[in-house]
Structure 1
Amino acid sequence: MSLKDVALHTAQRGISGSYALRGTPFDPATAFHPPRGWHSTVHYGLMLPNLPAPLNFIDVIAVIGQPRITLWNNHHLVETSAADTASLLIGTGVEFPGQFRGYRVGRDLELAPDSSLVRFGDDLRIEGAYPNFTVTYRNPAFDLDLRVRATDKISHFVKLRGGLYDHWSLLCQYEGVVTYQGETLEISGLNTLEYARGAHIKLPFTFFTYHIINIDDTTQVLMVEVLGPLGLAVQRSVYVRSLTDHGGTYENNFRFEVRRLEPAARRTPNGLSMHLAAEFDWSVDDEGGTELIEIHGTTNDDYVFGMAGGYAGSYRYTGRFRGEPVSGTGYIEYIGNH
């Protein structure tokens, strides 16, 4: 491990308590609430990778209260105030009207204090309590009904000292039905249930990417890279967990390399210009210095705007995991320019 990596990891341990929680089971008392107090922004997310074409993936990205972080902000949706503004993306490989839209929190949302009900108008309902949840989405062109059972396998991405920002992900199993273009498809597999809460502070992030790969029917791998000004690494981590193993966090010799960008930059509704990745590689070593995973990905040209202030999509991949060949369809979030 290089001196640069040592310095990065030391800094991360100093400002975030997430690494110390690796491998520990989910505590049902973990915070899971709508905006309150100084936590003015909350995110609920469900991500389903590795679906058959043309769906490729499904995500539910709900953001309540607009953050001050530019990459996550959708200021063009604000009618009254940032706190009264919410957004919802139902991302997938097929396009339909209303995939991404804004809401007024006080007018359109119903939020139980314990998040046992999160309702966005007549469009989305997330109901239940750990470990069982139901997700219902209604759109004239796209309906979704999911039953989600969470495990106790949790990955803590960020847990800033003082409670300024928390973000975690649970490994889940799901089954359900999706209806689009007159067709109904039964789906099932591994997914994530994610939650974040943050204070109204400005963090100078310039790039963010997040990937989810289901290695098989029991094992899931997550990858995160966050950059700050001048390309300074804020976080570079890979998380592995399975139905039978709490897994671990890996950072040694992390690499994310974009090999080809889309031909033209995309212009977001907020006026930002983003050149999205079309082909890329990423890898990391295990704690003993042996390659843990190496992935070669090519996107499916299905990026959709609304992953906060950026894009979500899918990609075809080949590679190796713990020395064995792997392939499939991964999930990607991408905001900013790498």
Structure 2
Amino acid sequence: MYWNSFSKSAKQPPDLTQLQWLPNLQYKTLHYGLVFLNLPAPLHYINFLSLLGIPNIPVLQNPAAVTTTEFDTAWIFHSCSLSQLNCLQSYSIQDDCGQTPELIDFDQTIKIVKAEQSFRLIHEYSELAFLLNIRLHPPRYKNYPFNLGIMQQWVCPASMQGTLRYKEQNYQVQSTGIFSYARTIQLPFWSWYFYTRQIIQVEHLQFIFYQIRNRFNQIIHSKLILLDTQQQKIKTYSHNVEFEVARVYPKVVTPNGLSMYLPREFSWHLQHRHLKIQLFAEARGDYKFGFGAGYVGSFSYKLKMNQKHYEGEAGYCEYVDCRALKWQEINATEKHFFKKNVQDLACQPLKTFK
């Protein structure tokens, strides 16, 4: 399959029947994932994240979940806000994964039945199971961080409806969110020691914040991707996108055996000529570990976008911190800054999204 099958206009979703779903000799690492937001309590969100072929990146290391070798290992991580004992399943790509022109399966417990711009996701797991009908929509944001086809990735809006079963309780679910895809050749090492991706959805706008830092706390990427599903437009901001953690929970030992603080209150700030954003968030505490060396969870938030104020209960967060603990400590200036801005924002009228 040639990547130029994705080089069409961003107004068109990709053809999923032509997508590479399992690693090959050229692209040894693949990721495809779904995040659906604004679900009613107690679900709040649903995610399905895959990583096939584990690259040499610190934030993605979880040696206990490697089945045979790193590049023969496939991880499937799924969760919602409900309590779960195990969110991560590990498979051997050679022994447990198979595909036909219409179907991808992981040990017969996870199946992806694909069509051109939609697919059915079937997850048969005792604690949390679901059957979701998913359709992709424009616009599609494409990113090529390196030249020569070393790495290629994109993200686009998605809608879903279906059923979810948690233990003995059944839920009918319907929501919108994002579908992400990436693939890369085998690289020797990437110095990613901190990673976070946080997503909120406000009316027809999808906000994707992410930041990556190296082991010396230097920012590698800090970006906001803003998808407008109504006008089918994309805007990206990579300057003056600031992320701050104001309060943390006590240290925990993550699946990679390192210590990490869990963020309790955090914020994003963007100052642009035409757009000013302040997002203040408080973690719900529904941390799900096993996503690489960190966790997945949700948060409530207050958002100020230019002169408009909103609030929500179903923000989504992926968070990994492998930096030395001295870089994870919070100083008094940051705490005061966060507290003052939250108090100012709390005085404004807010709109809740359902």
TM (norm. structure 2) is: 0.82
Gapped regions of structure 1 (runs ≥ 5): 1-20
CA–CA distance in structure 1, aligned partners of residues 82 and 253 of structure 2: 20
CA–CA distance in structure 2, aligned partners of residues 85 and 290 of structure 1: 42
Higher RCO, Cα 8 Å, sep 6+: 1
Report deviation, 1:215.
Answer: 0.5
Report deviation, 1:29.
Answer: 6.2
CA–CA distance in structure 2, aligned partners of residues 118 and 309 of structure 1: 26
Q: What is the aligned partner in structure 2 of residue 17 from structure 1? A: none
The answer (yes or no) to whether the contact 1:38–1:199 under 8 Å persists in 2 is yes
CA–CA distance in structure 2, aligned partners of residues 123 and 29 of structure 1: 25
Report deviation, 1:158.
Answer: 4.7
Verify: 1:315 aligned to 2:276, yes or no: no
For structure 1, which segment, 272-281 or 117-126, has the greater mean C-alpha deviation from structure 2 after superposition? 117-126
Q: What is the aligned partner in structure 2 of residue 6 from structure 1? A: none
CA–CA distance in structure 2, aligned partners of residues 227 and 168 of structure 1: 21
Report deviation, 1:294.
Answer: 1.4
Q: Which amino acid aligns with 1:214?
A: Q
Q: What is the aligned partner in structure 1 of residue 315 from structure 2? A: 330
The answer (yes or no) to whether the contact 2:13–2:137 under 8 Å persists in 1 is no
In structure 1, which of residues 205, 223, 226 is the aligned counterpart of residue 192 of structure 2? 205
Q: Which amino acid aligns with 1:78?
A: V
The answer (yes or no) to whether the contact 2:287–2:297 under 8 Å persists in 1 is yes
CA–CA distance in structure 1, aligned partners of residues 216 and 151 of structure 2: 23
For structure 1, which segment, 101-110 or 296-305, has the greater mean C-alpha deviation from structure 2 after superposition? 101-110
Cα distance change, pair 185–297 in 1 and its aligned pair in 2 (3 A): same
Verify: 1:125 aligned to 2:140, yes or no: no
Q: What is the aligned partner in structure 2 of residue 170 from structure 1? A: 156
CA–CA distance in structure 1, aligned partners of residues 252 and 206 of structure 2: 30
Q: What is the aligned partner in structure 2 of residue 39 from structure 1? A: 27
Q: What is the aligned partner in structure 2 of residue 78 from structure 1? A: 66
Q: Which amino acid aligns with 2:292?
A: A
Report deviation, 1:97.
Answer: 4.0
The answer (yes or no) to whether the contact 1:251–1:284 under 8 Å persists in 2 is no
Q: What is the aligned partner in structure 2 of residue 11 from structure 1? A: none
CA RMSD of aligned residues (A): 2.1
In structure 2, which of residues 225, 228, 236 is the aligned counterpart of residue 249 of structure 1? 236
Q: What is the aligned partner in structure 2 of residue 147 from structure 1? A: 133
The answer (yes or no) to whether the contact 2:278–2:305 under 8 Å persists in 1 is yes
Report deviation, 1:196.
Answer: 1.2
Report deviation, 1:26.
Answer: 4.6
Report deviation, 1:122.
Answer: 2.9
Verify: 1:106 aligned to 2:94, yes or no: yes
Q: Secondary structure at the match of 2:162?
A: strand
For structure 1, which segment, 275-284 or 181-190, has the greater mean C-alpha deviation from structure 2 after superposition? 181-190
In structure 2, which of residues 193, 202, 206 is the aligned counterpart of residue 215 of structure 1? 202
CA–CA distance in structure 1, aligned partners of residues 267 and 126 of structure 2: 38
Q: Secondary structure at the match of 2:59?
A: helix
The answer (yes or no) to whether the contact 1:66–1:74 under 8 Å persists in 2 is no
CA–CA distance in structure 2, aligned partners of residues 229 and 242 of structure 1: 34
Superposed CA deviations along residues 148-189 of structure 1, whole A, max 9, x for unmatched, are 110121223553212222222111111111121422222212
For structure 1, which segment, 75-84 or 187-196, has the greater mean C-alpha deviation from structure 2 after superposition? 75-84
**Count of equivalent residues:** 311
Verify: 1:138 aligned to 2:128, yes or no: no
Superposed CA deviations along residues 196-235 of structure 1, whole A, max 9, x for unmatched, are 112221110111100110102x221111111123222111
Verify: 1:295 aligned to 2:269, yes or no: no
CA–CA distance in structure 1, aligned partners of residues 163 and 198 of structure 2: 24
Report deviation, 1:44.
Answer: 1.4
Q: What is the aligned partner in structure 1 of residue 337 from structure 2? A: none
The answer (yes or no) to whether the contact 1:148–1:172 under 8 Å persists in 2 is yes
Gapped regions of structure 2 (runs ≥ 5): 1-6, 329-354
Percent identity, aligned pairs only? 25
Q: What is the aligned partner in structure 2 of residue 8 from structure 1? A: none
The answer (yes or no) to whether the contact 1:142–1:179 under 8 Å persists in 2 is yes
CA–CA distance in structure 1, aligned partners of residues 270 and 168 of structure 2: 42
CA–CA distance in structure 1, aligned partners of residues 182 and 53 of structure 2: 12
Cα distance change, pair 71–35 in 1 and its aligned pair in 2 (3 A): same
CA–CA distance in structure 2, aligned partners of residues 247 and 315 of structure 1: 24
Q: Secondary structure at the match of 1:140?
A: coil
Q: What is the aligned partner in structure 2 of residue 285 from structure 1? A: 271
Verify: 1:270 aligned to 2:239, yes or no: no
The answer (yes or no) to whether the contact 2:206–2:227 under 8 Å persists in 1 is yes
Report deviation, 1:282.
Answer: 0.4
In structure 2, which of residues 54, 57, 60 is the aligned counterpart of residue 66 of structure 1? 54
Report deviation, 1:81.
Answer: 1.5
Q: Secondary structure at the match of 1:122?
A: coil
Q: What is the aligned partner in structure 1 of residue 82 from structure 2? A: 94
CA–CA distance in structure 2, aligned partners of residues 243 and 290 of structure 1: 18
CA–CA distance in structure 1, aligned partners of residues 143 and 292 of structure 2: 17
CA–CA distance in structure 1, aligned partners of residues 268 and 120 of structure 2: 33
Larger Rg: 2
Q: What is the aligned partner in structure 1 of residue 331 from structure 2? A: none
Q: Which amino acid aligns with 1:49?
A: L
Q: Secondary structure at the match of 2:95?
A: helix
CA–CA distance in structure 2, aligned partners of residues 69 and 301 of structure 1: 26
